[in-house]
Amino acid sequence: MSATKASRIGEETRIDKVNAELVTLTYGTIVAQLCQDYDSDYQEVNKQLEKMGYNIGMRLIEDFLAKSGVGRCANFRETADMIAKVGFKIFLNVAPTVTNWTSDNNQFSLIFDENPLADFVELPDDGRAQDELWFSNILCGVLRGSLEMVQMQIEAHFVSDVLRGDDTTEMRVSLIRYIEDEMPPEED
């Protein structure tokens, strides 16, 4: 499927809406709570956020397939467009840019111009949060969880975030393997 077609699906998919700020503020509440519970151990907070995202992703994919009506992607490049232009569009109403492909087409970056999760947010001024916390790390987990449900094992992590003082917010996504490739061989 072409990238333009993917954008059209993303634009046209009808979904129930809520006030964006309710989502933003609730996510902020979650992250702040984790920082408090883990005593500002930001590595651990990142891990917990990723885990929450993974749980969400596993359930969200069904919803995604039902809402978008899209079928199987032919390759990882198509998957990337689907994530950026349909997935993010439906669930976060943003369409990050897909870029920085590796030559083997197994790794790309998502650049977020907008990130509703981070609206209103200023990281704690404790000399550590800006070096250690990935505020929106839940999104990495969402990608990992949902793609695993469609037989793709991936790894995702943020490499920069405007909340840390970087100029862009960028997530790096790598395909590790197609899970069906590793299915045990059929018995003779």
Partner 1 sequence: MAAPPRHVSMLSISNSNAGTPQSASSDKPQTPQPPSTPQQASGLRVPSNRKTIYDRHLNRSRNAELSRASFAYLFAEMVTYAQRRVTGIQDLEKRLNEQGYPLGLRLLDLLFYRSTSTSSSALSSSSTSSSPPNRPLRILPLLHLIHGPLWRLLFQRSADALEHSVSPDTPNEYMITDNDPLVNTYISVPREMNMLNCAAYIAGVIEGVCDGCGFEAKVSAHNQPTEMWPSRTVFLLRFGDSVMEREKVLERSGIK
Partner 2 sequence: MSYYFTILSPTDTPIFNIAFGTSKGGGDGIARFRFPDTAQYMNQFIIHSSLDILEEAQWTNGGMYLKHIDTYPPASAYISAFLTPSGTRFLLLHQPPQLPTSGSSSTLGASSLLASGTTRSSSSVAANPTSAQTEEAVRQFMNEVYESFVKTAMSPFYRQGMEIRSPVFRGKITAAGKKWL
* Measured distance CA(10)–CA(94) in Å, rounded: 10
With binding defined as CB under 8 A, does residue 43 bind partner 1? no
Q: Which residues in the 75-104 window bind partner 1 by CB under 8 A?
A: 90-93
Q: Pick from 123, 171, 173, 175: which binds partner 2 (CB under 8 A)?
A: 123
With binding defined as CB under 8 A, does residue 45 bind partner 2? no
Angstrom CA distances, 109 to 26, 88, 95, 135, 171, stand at 27, 14, 13, 17, 5
Binding-site partner at residue 17 among partner 1, partner 2, none, CB < 5 to 8 Å by type: partner 1
Q: Using CB under 8 A, which of the segments 48-56, 70-78, 102-110, 175-183 binds partner 1? A: 48-56
Q: Pick from 5, 8, 11, 26: which binds partner 1 (CB under 8 A)?
A: 26
* Measured distance CA(170)–CA(11) in Å, rounded: 23
Q: Which two tokens stand for residue 64?
A: 């995604």
Q: Which two tokens stand for residue 18?
A: 């809520």
3-state DSSP of 65-124: HHHHCCCCCCCHHHHHHHHHHHHHHHHHCCCCEEECCCCCCCEEEEEECCCHHHCCCCCC
Interaction site with partner 2 (CB under 8 A): 25, 28-29, 31-32, 35, 120-125, 129
Interaction site with partner 1 (CB under 8 A): 15-27, 29-30, 32-37, 39-40, 48, 52, 55-56, 59-60, 63, 90-93, 116, 119-127, 130, 162, 164-167
